[in-house]
Structure 1
């Protein structure tokens, strides 16, 4: 079995895949169309399954050192009434780690630092990926042509490689929501590590970081393509009267720092995550809504599972079949659960439905809520040693 790989896409999943492949003896080159590999963005939550994957990749300790555990918080109404309480300590006892909050750019930097600089090629857009024969894949990047034993498509929800492999697949669709988010410019006085607030067709949440700053996000039920001239001013209007610290989080944010993206997903599951010697990973394979905070965690699981399968051999094709068999059922189940969570959360708009949901959540013991999370968090990675 050959041991050269090209990873298309230098996001979290692509970098993690490259690290994993190198740990099992592969030569890897990551090709990213952006000129600068910084994955600028807001914040991210890492559950125990994602942290275990990072441990297996050798960067778990560094990520934990740059993260803040989510022990306190929960879910509220716009007026501040508690719907559900977070018990991070109970979750940690159950799965060995709390959910951790970290700036996305920090996680990206730690992953980059685990790779040699020569392995990263930036400012190069992949224009074609084709099976070059029974033992190689041909990758065209502008005028350059690369040949490898394996190609890993980690090129995101709009994956060009996925479109080439599955031309009849409908691709990503709009979930019905749009999200605005940012990191505060300076520390904010927060009483909780993590919080969600659900209103009619709207959600506001925050993640506290180690340095006192926080990531906040606002999810709104709006048509695709909706944009605002002044996003922060629009959010101040929409969330006027919502409980503290929502006004303080918006006030602590520079207007130009607000990011705005439609929430899209691969609602139609792919029939396979591998074709020949090409593997799909992360959002390219199973882009999901963010309602369970599992998007990046599933990509990290993919990276470790792929590396373990290739490390075990005996052929690339056999390894990718094993990868697909292992990853597709789990990641697609998580995607379905995330979609359902969104429908029962921010997307609810009828007052009676909201009242019934809130009552059910208040009556649900915290141990039951913790047990529901275990389906997603209690994942044990294969060994790469």
Structure 2
């Protein structure tokens, strides 16, 4: 490779993680090529949460304040029963006071647009698949095959999602994905109905409501369901499950078009990966650590991955430092999110009753119960910054 090639990176996948790492690497002087097999990058999805840990990461390449400007959470909210009674209360103000920053929930497409703007100087090859054919080593570059032929790079970032082809090629002995037995529904709706942010847990599953900027609301739900199960009309399925729950859940579901409801099963890795890199190729986001949505940290952890990788890639330990920094933290969050899902989606009525009683007692005894559960997740700072 020529001297300029030694700082060339190829990013496979222009989802949120791929866009974030392209922006972070470019800011540090790398020449980056971004490849996305979809002809329309950034399309799809509904809403997502960006917690203070991810906002701090976004600050490192100048996108944090743009996301903060879309914050819409305010007032009281919390965890409720299907009849509307609160089990645990919290508030956006309490989150802001504890973490010196806010929680922002926004449309996935909006965040993708913000990240694309941050990486606007990086050429995006949409509709172009890229495949790792050589992982490289300390002396040889990695090699990626695209529609125009083979390309070499000092660094290849595989941000190719939960079904990552790069992960399967790098670790062919790994058992891959396994079903959790849970499914999710999501939609964003424009509605003037007042919404208190929070979740409701009951026998049918869980429903979350979050106000977005303007008059839009993000609605999500989860339940126990066989993998691959689908309803002819997912809106009708939501009404069947949650139509008797407290307002405004039924009203919001009734108002959405059936075609706007997204349904996805939740999968996780059957076992942790041995590393997040091999040779000069690294895995990022869902390619490295797919996780359930129950802590709202999927996108946050991909963004953390991006800024940590950009920070350590040229250090003495290089990609070993990336695996060492990211694998323990993300593995812990995967486990914690799974435990939260198992708690929210308990099947046995007696266990649900005991859970609700324990949550209610804890919530009354300590108003910051919900916030304390997030401290070790959200109190994270990028490696370029010191905690305040």
What is the TM-score when the length of structure 2 is the normalising length? 0.93
Quick one: distance in 1 between partners of 2:79 and 2:315? Answer: 46
In structure 1, what is the equivalent of residue 307 of structure 2? 304
Q: How does 1:312-323 map to 2 (within 5 A)?
A: 312-314=314-316, 318-323=317-322
* 1:358 alignment partner, one of 356, 359, 383: 356
In structure 1, what is the equivalent of residue 151 of structure 2? 146
SS at match of 1:69: coil
The runs of 4+ residues in structure 1 deviating greater than 4 Å are: none
Quick one: distance in 2 between partners of 1:241 and 1:121? Answer: 47
* 2:278 alignment partner, one of 275, 278, 289: 275
In structure 2, what is the equivalent of residue 248 of structure 1? 251
Quick one: distance in 2 between partners of 1:154 and 1:70? Answer: 33
In structure 2, what is the equivalent of residue 106 of structure 1? 110
After TM superposition, give the deviation of residue 118 of structure 1 in Å. 5.2
In structure 2, what is the equivalent of residue 57 of structure 1? 61
SS at match of 1:262: strand
After TM superposition, give the deviation of residue 271 of structure 1 in Å. 1.0
Quick one: distance in 2 between partners of 1:372 and 1:239? Answer: 27
Determine if the alignment matches structure 1 residue 348 to structure 2 residue 346.
yes
* 2:45 alignment partner, one of 41, 44, 60: 41
Q: How does 1:1-385 map to 2 (within 5 A)?
A: 2-69=6-73, 71-116=75-120, 119-132=123-136, 134-184=139-189, 186-192=190-196, 194-310=197-313, 312-314=314-316, 318-345=317-344, 347-364=345-362, 365-383=366-384
SS at match of 1:86: strand
After TM superposition, give the deviation of residue 127 of structure 1 in Å. 3.4
Quick one: distance in 2 between partners of 1:368 and 1:131? Answer: 46
Quick one: distance in 1 between partners of 2:298 and 2:342? Answer: 17
Quick one: distance in 1 between partners of 2:241 and 2:195? Answer: 23
Quick one: distance in 2 between partners of 1:321 and 1:115? Answer: 26
What is the TM-score when the length of structure 1 is the normalising length? 0.94
After TM superposition, give the deviation of residue 354 of structure 1 in Å. 0.7
After TM superposition, give the deviation of residue 343 of structure 1 in Å. 0.7
| Partners of 2:24 and 2:306 within 8 A in 1 | yes
| Partners of 2:203 and 2:347 within 8 A in 1 | yes
- Structure 2: state its 5+ residue gaps: none
Quick one: distance in 2 between partners of 1:218 and 1:87? Answer: 21
Question: How many residues are matched?
Answer: 377
Quick one: distance in 2 between partners of 1:246 and 1:285? Answer: 34
After TM superposition, give the deviation of residue 382 of structure 1 in Å. 1.6
| Partners of 1:201 and 1:348 within 8 A in 2 | no
| Partners of 2:79 and 2:89 within 8 A in 1 | yes
SS at match of 2:288: helix
After TM superposition, give the deviation of residue 54 of structure 1 in Å. 0.8
Quick one: distance in 2 between partners of 1:211 and 1:40? Answer: 20
After TM superposition, give the deviation of residue 368 of structure 1 in Å. 3.5
| Partners of 2:23 and 2:118 within 8 A in 1 | yes
SS at match of 1:138: strand
After TM superposition, give the deviation of residue 144 of structure 1 in Å. 2.7
| Partners of 1:68 and 1:100 within 8 A in 2 | yes
Quick one: distance in 2 between partners of 1:226 and 1:336? Answer: 25
Cα RMSD for the two superposed structures? 1.6
Quick one: distance in 1 between partners of 2:86 and 2:136? Answer: 58
| Partners of 1:32 and 1:124 within 8 A in 2 | yes
| Partners of 2:34 and 2:122 within 8 A in 1 | no
| Partners of 1:127 and 1:142 within 8 A in 2 | no
Quick one: distance in 1 between partners of 2:92 and 2:55? Answer: 15
SS at match of 1:291: coil
